[in-house]
A = this chain, B = another copy of it.
Amino acid sequence: MKKKITLKDIATTFGVSIATVSKALNDSYDISVTTKQKIQEYAKAHHYKPNTIALNLLKKSKTKTIGVVIPNIMNSFFAKAFVGIENIASQNGYQLVSCISNESYEKEVKTIELLKHGDLDGLIISLAEETQIKQNFTHLQNTLDEGIPIVMFDRVTENIACDKVIVNDMESAYSATHHLLKSGCKRVALISIIDNLSVGKLRVEGYKKAITEFNMPIEDRLIVRIGNHEDFDAILKVTLSDKTIDGLICLEEDATVNTTKLVKQMGYKIPEDISIVCFTNGKILQHLSPSISAISQHGKHIGETAISMLIDRIENNTPNKPFITKMVKTSLIERESTKSIK
């Protein structure tokens, strides 16, 4: 185990001062070319690496470290977002300290506490479900107060003033429902297992807007909010026993998979008897049979946008620049589970 070489080591081997070595390695103008050369060569030969910890202590330079907190990496949307974040981050020489909140408020808070110890340059977060229920954001406000910029994406809150990247959930749900209606559906139900989330609520709004626009009544029993996953099949079966339902909009991928299975099981034909659209365009949806039409949220792009905004904040230190919320457009990908509009 060869220990790290320091400025001091180099200084003593050359019989010069530490400052000289420091300057030489930083290519300072007031060191003679010869000294610079020999020192630089020696440093390279001995794999000298400045000690980042020491540099960080001189709070001059940034730590080049960004914290990322994500609710669940098994969710394809977040996985894609993470890829986007990682991509841009590493291109810009940033490290990512990443945590999975696992939808838990406590883990989210603990995590951020831990992260702050490590002195981050910034933080990217998508809120845990529990946090959105609790509506307690002091851990984030504290972070902001310490001068660490935050960018929130997808699951955001109005209660924190920072940059945000979101999808137009309301409009997406609106146009998906609209599509269903246009394609001939007469009675569209909505399946939500994420009614606790900001995005879930917005999607319901969009659905309602479309229904209303088609002069149809908003029927509460068509809006199925399932909290406990255990009950999923049972609850959905009751809803689907109403044979006049001919369209389904699912707010999230996992539920879509189960719903599709159940619909087929109950003997309905897709899309002839029932059309299905869903949010989050995971790989799995295109491989189901029938393949499921989906609203793509462009996760990777969202991630890239979020990290770009953050890096921008960090590098062009502009505390007064007003916070902005970027809206990323979704796209509806039509597949076999919906009828096309003539």
Contacts and interface: CB of A to CB of B under 8 A. Distances in A.
B80 A74 contact: yes
Interface residues of A, number: 48
Interface stretch (A21-29, A51-59, A239-247): A51-59
A1 B54 contact: no
Given A95-B97, A114-B95, A287-B288, A119 B52 contact: yes
Interface string A84-123: 0010001001011111100000010011001111110000
7 contacts: A1-B319, A53-B119, A73-B82, A86-B99, A95-B97, A95-B115, A284-B287
Contact of A283 (B3, B95, B145, B284): B284
Contacts of A96: 97-99
Contacts of A82: 73
Nearest to A116: B49
Interface in A256-291: 257, 261, 283-284, 287-289
Contacts of A76: 74
A79 B86 contact: no
A30 interface: no
Contacts of A52: 117-119
Chain copies in complex: 2
Given A2-B145, A52-B118, A118-B65, A90 B79 contact: no
A157 to B, nearest CB: 20
A50 to B, nearest CB: 8
Given A73-B73, A90-B114, A96-B97, 4 more contacts: A86-B98, A96-B98, A287-B288, A289-B289
B53 A147 contact: no
Interface in A1-27: 1-4
A146 B287 contact: no
Contacts of A284: 283-284, 287
A54 B51 CA distance: 12
Contacts of A51: 57, 119
A332 interface: no
A83 interface: yes
B49 A53 contact: no
B83 A100 contact: yes
Contacts of A86: 73, 98-100
Interface string A43-81: 000000101111011000000010000000110100110
